[in-house]
Homo-oligomer: A and B are copies of this chain.
Amino acid sequence: MHTALELLRLLPLLLLAYLEALARLLLPPRRKSVQGETVLVTGAGHGLGRSTALEFAQHRSRLVLWDVNQHGIEETAAECQRLGATVHTFVVDCSKREEIYRAAEKDHQIEQTFAVNILAHFWTTKAFLPTMMKNNHGHIVTVSSAAGHMPASFMLSYWLFVISFSSSKFAAVGFHKALTQELSALGKDGIKTTCLCPIFINTGFVKNPKMRLTPILEPDMVAKKLLEGILINQKMIFVPSSLNIFLFMEKILPERALAAWNKLQAIQFDKVVGYRNKE
């Protein structure tokens, strides 16, 4: 009885929520400023990490760049400084939890307000979230992939790679969703979250990727879309945005049709750099 009453009380809220969603759809979104915010970018030494750092530099943020490759972050830092940004760099192997904590410790005087996790989202977030929560201010960006929603069929000799790749990208989406929900449950509405899910980016990770129906993305273009989404606090960013339709199709197409569809838009590439498939 008590529960039924509470369910009933949800109804006006539901109406309100739909109206709000409609208003958001029609009104131009308000952009926030990231000028002067301290932004941590992991994996900033190349590819999407570097492009993202440059975008923030153009928006006059204070940058903290992490990467395992010293030469890489120094190059990124020099480019950011040329754009007039303040930059701190740290050589960090984000696959090692202790290194993350050591870098976070050194970094203590520079309180992070933004964290763009190209890599190693769990431990970097864990290192910086408590301060963000104390201030109820911040933004956590998790980089996943379209493969975190719908696994793609790759070249068949790489099936083991595909499975572990998809699995880790699904994990990143789950991380973002759980984080978003926990922050909402804890009432920390000042901390925003964004999850980036692009299709293949041409970063040298796979060699000569080709897709039938969608173009291969360049890091600069994806970083631009990411910044646009961050500034309007968008929770989930698909690049290209037509992915929304693909994902909806996955929900409504029966199995056999879906398999044919997947075959049609097959992704092909020459090889995955640095990965050997042992069967």
Contacts and interface: CB of A to CB of B under 8 A. Distances in A.
Interface of A: 3, 6-7, 10, 13-14, 16-18, 20-21, 122, 126, 130, 147-148, 150-153, 156, 159-160, 162-175, 177-179, 181-182, 184-186, 212-213, 235, 251, 253-257, 259-264, 279
* Number of identical monomers bound together in the oligomeric complex: 2
A191 to B, nearest CB: 12
B178 A163 contact: yes
B255 A21 contact: yes
B171 A168 contact: yes
Given A7-B264, A167-B175, A254 B20 contact: yes
B174 A279 contact: no
Contact of A182 (B7, B148, B162): B162
A175 B163 contact: yes
B148 A256 contact: no
Contacts of A130: 279
19 contacts: A3-B213, A6-B264, A10-B260, A10-B261, A10-B264, A13-B257, A18-B257, A122-B164, A147-B174, A148-B174, A151-B177, A156-B185, A156-B186, A159-B186, A162-B182, A167-B174, A167-B175, A168-B171, A170-B175
Given A18-B254, A126-B160, A162-B182, 6 more contacts: A10-B261, A130-B279, A147-B178, A159-B185, A166-B177, A168-B174
